[in-house]
Structure 1
């Protein structure tokens, strides 16, 4: 029985060693494959494409097909000119800004996997296929270089170089345009990383006159994650620990199986003990085995943490998360130079026209950047009383009000300034919905607060961009009325339709609102339009209406008893802007000019009071038998309800300023 037990114990230890060897082998294979996936089998982490432009065109457009050739963020590098300018925006905006100028496009050929460059001069004329036009042209037509006027016999070589140097056209420089979502510039080479949504193109240029950079490179990050590397390394580490545990267990079991037993040999003389020399060898061998055991025990302590740290990256493990869906708005754009017309089987007369996709004229970040520029220009012009600088960002009634204010403050520095443009983040942005470039330009309503003080009225600005190469300019600048009940409007990501001035779906046509309210200010309740306007809490009627005019008459009688005053209102030349609200109504602008004419009634003379704004603006300081007059410009925004509504038209905001003063003609 004892012989059987001894054999069984030895077999159990050997089995543990066999399984330990198998565990070590499997661990080595798994760890080896895991390391190989992150080394020799690892795919590149990015893909790169490049293109060279051989023509001297001033602009290069990187099409959406090139930017979207691979998923992920695009790293774009442009080089090959002294000055490098990059901007990105909607494809339609980029093409509209370029206009008739020559440019090259960079697209992507999915079949060859390469970038394709096309010059705009390769487009065929009407009725010709682009390919046929390209075959007839032996080489791409470069933009003709501007020629300089020859100098009369330059004295030296330096003068010759100066005479032939290209003159840069500021109007052709794309830098600073309000159309761009963002822009960047540098010398010789520019690299930027962007993540553009659908139908966004990149414009590359130098200064708009000299040739654009000649080399463009695009790179995208690739997903080179190895989701099985982590499980292989971790599994190998676990098997290694299992094998190590089996080895320890085998040694323990082996030592136990060699423990003391009852002597089963023949009775007689006991065997002699080991000699001292053999005993020393046995003790020394035991120490060596203990040292080896310690080194073996340290091996997993060192290996396992290394495997744990190397496999902690998310690239080492499979991911079960779904990628977030894109929320980028879809946009439409006219075809670029490299896009060929698509043939259809149906005749043109039977094909249904595609519905135009309307998008907001600007994005929120884009408009916030524009407003920072407008606020900075307004602040500088207001401080310097520079009407020329103000014209860069103001037009129409808003510019006329500032010009007059600057003229008055030149003589009367203590006079109040014009309606300020807050440099704060707008609280409301309502862009017009557009499809391409309408003939009326693009319009945006912006409301901003200068301070958090509720007693300070927010500023409402109507801005228009009339041409792709023009920037947005403030047409109307006014303060909202106290407790103005502004109707709900669409979010900035959707925008509002621009309503025609002749639209009959409102209680009053937008182009008639200004004249009707001007009549109400003059005639009050006797006006035929008085019942259509909300007069309750209308502070403007109290100031410039019948009640306010009577106050002015009483003040004039107190100071000049022999003078009479007459009031008249006309509609100014400011545009009628109507943006739709969510309840089918509209926000409508108007420009009214109220003239105050003072004439003597006793055959005498009369003039402006000394130090009055009228005298400062007109420069007329004498007396006149014909009288003097002042013109007050009133910028207004109304809420006009839809047809069938029981609401009345109400004033939401206004600004009044002296815009004219002179002797009565």
Structure 2
């Protein structure tokens, strides 16, 4: 009886110990569980700088949304951009970088860099995918706008200190690694405690049976061992088999205790978000999202519309440069003197039909866009170039699509494409400079030996029309000699590869139209538009008219038997003079 009492007390203690152990594990998953989120803030003595950068590794290190609270004086913005773009825009300006979280997850780690005391205002920069405007305080939920890595730039106007009082609330990555093991261990202890009286009684009964059937003193009775008995003895002696059976029961019980979900009691390794992002960023990405391009096109179109309406070239400066600036400036001069002169084709962004975006991360950067809208019966190819990080994209050229030409008749890459140097023909039938040279030669010399390299005639109405106009002018010029030349301007040539291995080259030709009287007393009469630049309408010594030609040519890949195709072209009068 004393033995039974001890066994019962021992069993009760084991059950109690098991319950306490199991409850400790459950507590770590419930009322002792760590908070779902953790908030970390920048130190109060963080150095003030004109710019504050929130590093991509910080906002990408936690799964789920990150809530950011920013406090500062006056107005400020939070801009989202690729890490390289943010770094390039910051440049040599003094700045503060929020780059990590302390081990106790209560403080944000910051790093200050000395440099130039001010920067231009980042408001309106084309580098940003989006911006948040605020005054005094901003509660901001970070969600990546697209795949890849992103950083945030916080700034006022570039001259005043940027807000540096920042707190970030992350999903808590703290774990409870002992929760499940404690629950499993508690269940095992409970099962052992509950089974102890029955096991002890069975052993006692077995011993009693042995004593009862053991025979007299000095006698030994050998009992036959059956295969089943032998297996049972092996199972009883093998601790591993017994443990496996108990663990199976325990796992089933755990599934019930923690809400019907079996929890694996082992560690799993999850790749860090930053590591995953880095792997994805090995591939080249377009330098802008389509939403950025659409916003830029709308701003360009608005700028051009305002300048066209006012005939004021100064209004073009923020968004127009190179050939397009020259052509529109001269167009305004002519229209101011000759009311009937036709305006330049407007720029429209309401319908973005296609685009070719560079993946080149350094500068200059180039984008081709095919757009159409009110006032543009024919879609036109727009060439946009960004010369440096702190400059916005500017319109370098516009050219209407050739009749019967479908811009994506060659594969247009949707995920960005690599730029090509204008003199590089690697993988191409011709380099960009060669393509422009062949076009210029064909327009200048009708019987050019290279004319088979570029589709002409009905395939290119612009080429056919130019050659016909020049031939008719010579034929009808009984009192004057005429000469024509189309010369490439190589420093305005941009080339982007197409998905089929070919390329699209956009550039400028200078078209010079010279006329000289054949005999003394012969006169050349200029049209009203040319007279605006020449300063008169008649000359007996000769004249030169200058046009800028904007062209886009498709170059097939190396080894192709197809000729090049003129995709888009136009010209504008930019000058005239007497000899």
Q: TM-score, with normalisation over the residues of structure 2?
A: 0.71
How far did residue 614 of structure 1 move? Answer: 0.8
Out of 573, 576, 579, the position equivalent to 2:496 is 579
Distance verdict in 2 for CA 1:356–1:651, change over 3 Å: same
The equivalent of 1:158 in structure 2 is: none
Counterpart position of 1:253: none
Distance 2:343 2:37 in 1: 56
Q: Give structure 1 regions of 4+ aligned residues with deviation exceeding 4 angstroms.
A: 39-46, 220-223, 328-333
Residue 185 (1) aligns with residue 107 (2): no
The RMSD of aligned alpha carbons is 3.5
Which of 14, 36, 42 is the equivalent residue of 1:51?
42
* Pairing 1:518–2:440 present: yes
Match of 1:437 in 2: 362
State the Cα distance separating 1:584 from its structure 2 match: 1.1
2:31 & 2:104 partners in 1: Cα distance? Answer: 27
The 1:110/1:57 distance shift into structure 2, 3 A limit, reads: closer
Q: In 2, distance between residues paired with 1:568 and 1:68?
A: 57
Q: Residue 140 of structure 1 corresponds to which residue in structure 2?
A: none
Pair 144,175 (structure 1): closer, same or farther in 2 beyond 3 Å: closer
Q: Which residue of 1 aligns with 2:530?
A: 614
Once the two structures are TM-superposed, the CA of residue 69 in structure 1 deviates from its matched residue by 4.2
CA-to-aligned-CA distance 1:374-413 (integer Å, 9 cap, x gap): 1111111111122122122122222221111111111123
Within-5 A mapping of 1:127-526: 172-196=120-144, 197-220=147-170, 330=277, 357-434=283-360, 436-438=361-363, 441-451=364-374, 456-485=377-406, 486-492=408-414, 494-504=415-425, 505-524=427-446, 526=447
User: Is residue 2:564 matched to residue 1:643?
Assistant: no
Residues 65 and 450 of structure 1: CA distance in aligned 2, closer, same or farther (over 3 Å):
same
> Where does residue 16 of structure 2 map in the other structure?
none
Go from structure 1 to structure 2 and tell me whether the alpha carbon gap of 1:623 and 1:331 turns closer, same or farther (over 3 Å shift): farther
- Cα distance, 1:200 vs. partner? 0.5
What is the rounded CA distance, in whole Å, between the counterparts of 2:164 and 2:327 in structure 1? Answer: 48
Q: TM-score, normalised by structure 1?
A: 0.63
How far apart are residue 481 of structure 1 and its match? Answer: 0.9
Q: Which residue of 1 aligns with 2:487?
A: 570
CA distance in 1, matches of 2:514, 2:405: 32
Equivalent residue, structure 2, for 1:109: 101
In the TM superposition, what is the alpha-carbon distance from 1:629 to its structure 2 partner? 1.8
**CA distance 1:622–1:370, shift in 2 (3 Å):** closer
Counterparts of 1:477 and 1:107, CA distance in 2? 43
Cα distance, 1:394–1:409 mapped onto 2, change above 3 Å: same
Q: Deviations over 1:279-321 (max 9, x none)?
A: xxxxxxxxxxxxxxxxxxxxxxxxxxxxxxxxxxxxx999xxx
Equivalence for 1:64: 56
- SS state of the match for residue 438, structure 2? helix
Aligned residue pairs, count: 455
* Deviation (angstroms), 1:470: 0.8
CA separation in 2, counterparts of 1:570 and 1:176?
37
Q: After superposition, where does 1:15-34 map in structure 2 within 5 Å?
A: none
Question: Do 1:398 and 1:475's aligned partners in 2 also have CA atoms closer than 8 Å?
Answer: yes
Could you say which residue in structure 1 is the equivalent of 2:448? 527
List gaps (5 residues or longer) in structure 1.
1-35, 122-142, 146-168, 224-315, 319-325, 334-354
Listed one character per residue, the Cα deviations across residues 68-127 of structure 1 (whole Å, up to 9, x for unaligned) are 343222332322222212101001100001111111100123633231011024xxxxxx
| Conservation of the 8 A alpha-carbon contact between 1:66 and 1:115 | no
